[in-house]
Structure 1
Amino acid sequence: MAIISFHLDDCDEKIIRNYAKSKNMSISSFLRSVVVEKIEDDIDDELYQQALIESKNDPRDITLDDIKKVMDQYSE
């Protein structure tokens, strides 16, 4: 398992420590969840922007089966 370190001022450290404690999480678990959520949100935003562009270029309807096929690619 990798270790990543970074510097925080005392105020930020206290906020993070207290928030993680209020959620009954370790600081590592809390920060890991926040970082992963941020990455997932950014990927979602990119996919949304790509979908907007594609729908403008090809404004056809997509079936639920089509969506399931695409989503299945991500679960492999």
Structure 2
Amino acid sequence: MKMLSVRCNSEDEKLIKHYAASKNKSVSEFLRELALERIEEEYDLKIVQEYLEKKEKGLKTYSADEVEKELGL
């Protein structure tokens, strides 16, 4: 597994270590999860924004009932 380093002051280091320990996680595990969650949140937000832009421009949507009726289900 690759390793990344993070620079922070001693106060931040103590806070991060204490918080990670309180969650029974290593600092590495805590920071990795935090970074990946942030990336996922931003990606999800981008998808929602793209959908809203398309909807604003007239994107046609269908309800589940409409789809079932169209497909003869």
- TM-score, structure 2 as length reference: 0.80
What SS is found at the alignment partner of 2:35? helix
CA distance 1:11–1:62, change in 2 (3 Å): farther
Shift of 1:6: 1.9
Shift of 1:58: 2.1
Shift of 1:63: 4.4
Aligned-residue identity in percent: 34
**Length, aligned pairs only:** 64
Q: Which has the larger radius of gyration?
A: 2
CA-based RMSD of the aligned residues comes to: 1.3
Deviations along 1:24-48, whole A, 9 cap, x unmatched? 0011110000000000000011111
- TM-score, structure 1 as length reference: 0.77
CA distance in 1, matches of 2:41, 2:51: 15
What are structure 1's unaligned runs of at least 5 residues?
A: 65-76
What are structure 2's unaligned runs of at least 5 residues?
A: 65-73
Partner AA of 1:51 in structure 2: Y
